[in-house]
A and B are shown apart, each in its own frame.
Chain A
């Protein structure tokens, strides 16, 4: 019956995303929030925390915090793009660090799963601090489909 889920319905997408995110302890630990999943462009955010800094002197986030959030957000985008509730695993992920994220400001992650094959979901993401035209980092990743449906 889960194959029949209408994943175009924003309310259903929001429900799936909330459950997906709530089940992942590390997302909860860093406080990753689901912001908008109404469309294929999946948006999450992290509020600034001091423990996210990589360079406290210069007041810069560590790049790996955004990467971990990008992994989760890309996974969510693929999960929402697949039929049913199929489990997935990250195959590979690449980050391009365009400019540092600055302290005291949050970080937004916008991911889009742009292609799905029988075995793989391809996804890309943009990380920014409020201005999408000034990306902090870009991410591309591939997720493997396991073929297994999550049991409710």
Chain B
């Protein structure tokens, strides 16, 4: 995804997260990737995110929450939306169990039309080459300043 607007410090990501109570609850961090090209979303590990103490493994719903929030933020930033875009649907494949550790997520905005944005997201932990989950979602876009909707 080559987005030239990325270099501009348009938004303060901590303000963005603070504005969404559930994102703040999960302490989601929006960070710049090492290659400087894309955003990376991180959910820091916390004991109460565990789903299976026996393994131990994170609750799948927390991983899915990270991916849905990340895709939502990705669309919000890339499409200059003024409010969090509302999801139409969301699905996730769990590839590996999530260890009791931080999760990272990277998104791909596949297509963004006038009304719908389609996004994919991948989640990994220690090893970027060993993703633990993959998600996709569609989001409803709101017209920005009435421009695109009127066309």
Contact = CB atoms under 8 A, between A and B. Distances in A.
Is the pairing of A and B real? yes
Interface of A: 23-29, 50-57, 62-65, 67-72, 87, 89-97, 100
Contact of A25 (B23, B24, B53, B60): B53
A71 B61 contact: yes
A62 B22 contact: yes
Contact of A64 (B51, B54, B65): B65
Contacts of B40: none
A24 B57 CA distance: 10
B69 interface: yes
Contacts of A29: 48-49
Interface of B: 19-25, 47-54, 58-62, 64-65, 68-69, 83-84, 86-94, 97
A53 B65 contact: no
A72 B59 contact: yes
Contacts of A91: 93-94
A72 B51 CA distance: 9
A62 B52 contact: no
Given A64-B68, A95-B89, A26 B62 contact: yes
Contact of B59 (A24, A53, A62, A96): A24
A93 B51 CA distance: 16
Given A26-B48, A68-B61, 4 more contacts: A54-B21, A55-B20, A68-B59, A95-B91
Which 10 pairs show the lowest CB-CB distances between chains A and B? A68-B61, A26-B59, A62-B22, A94-B91, A29-B48, A64-B65, A71-B61, A51-B25, A53-B21, A25-B50
